[in-house]
Amino acid sequence: MEHFVIYGDFNCPFSALASSRADRLVRAATATVDWRAVEHDPDIPPPGIDVVGDVAVEIDREIDQVRELVAAGEPFELHRPAVRSNTHAAVDAYAAAEPGRRATLRAELFDACWRRGETLDAGLLAGLGCEPSPSSSEVVATWRDEWLGTGRPIVPLMVLPDGYVSRGLGALSRLADLLGT
């Protein structure tokens, strides 16, 4: 069984697809995945950015691109959120979660953002039972440093067992190939 490290951000529709595919690989027992949440756009203000005008056009374009990557019959759904969330708190909460709970929490966060259009804010995180811990900032910093150290940090980013780094659309294609889709 192969082991992959995947970096992604909860407000990225490409990362949402990578997460869905990673979960399918794990359920099929063909791979293990260490998902590391990173904040790929820390300039988004804490309340987020309303998805209107140019922001809506950009997100719609990204959603259309992701939909083109979804194979026939592949279980995946996206909707435009009302707000492009700042994911700092979500990344902290994810890092603070017990490792055995992270896959479920990751799916819940992507679902909240991309299926239900919710803002990834303190209220949502509290509703999911998330609380940052002092040690989570160390985990977040380590993940971020490793991600930045890949040379071209984009999301999603997948590190293969041999250390090869697959980025963006390449990572999504590799995950699809591993699933046979």
- Do 140 and 95 touch, CB atoms closer than 8 A? yes
Q: Looking at residue 102, what is its pLDDT?
A: 95
The reported pLDDT for the residue numbered 15 is 98
pLDDT, one tens digit for every residue, the chain (181 residues): 999 999 999 999 999 999 999 999 999 999 999 999 999 999 999 999 999 999 999 999 999 999 999 999 998 999 999 999 999 999 999 999 999 999 999 999 999 999 999 999 999 999 999 876 777 889 999 999 999 999 999 999 999 999 999 999 999 999 999 998 8
Domain coordinates in residue numbering, the chain: 2-179
Which residue reads 């090869």 in tokens? 164
Around 101, how many Cα atoms within 13 Å sit in the side-chain half-sphere? 12
Type of residue at 29:
A
Q: In angstroms, what CA-CA distances link 163 with 95, 146, 150, 157?
A: 23, 12, 10, 12
Q: What is the pTM of this model?
A: 0.96
DSSP 43-102: TS-TT-EE--HHHHHHHHHHHHHHHHHSPTT--------SEE---HHHHHHHHHS-HHHH
**What are the residues facing 159 on neighbouring strands?**
5, 165
Tokens linked to 116: 């239900």
2-179 belongs to which homologous superfamily? Answer: Glutaredoxin (3.40.30.10)
DSSP characters over 143-172 = HHHHHHTTSS--SSEEE-TTS-EEEHHHHH
- What was the pLDDT predicted at 132? 66
pLDDT, residue 181, reads 80
Helix, strand, or coil (residue 8): strand
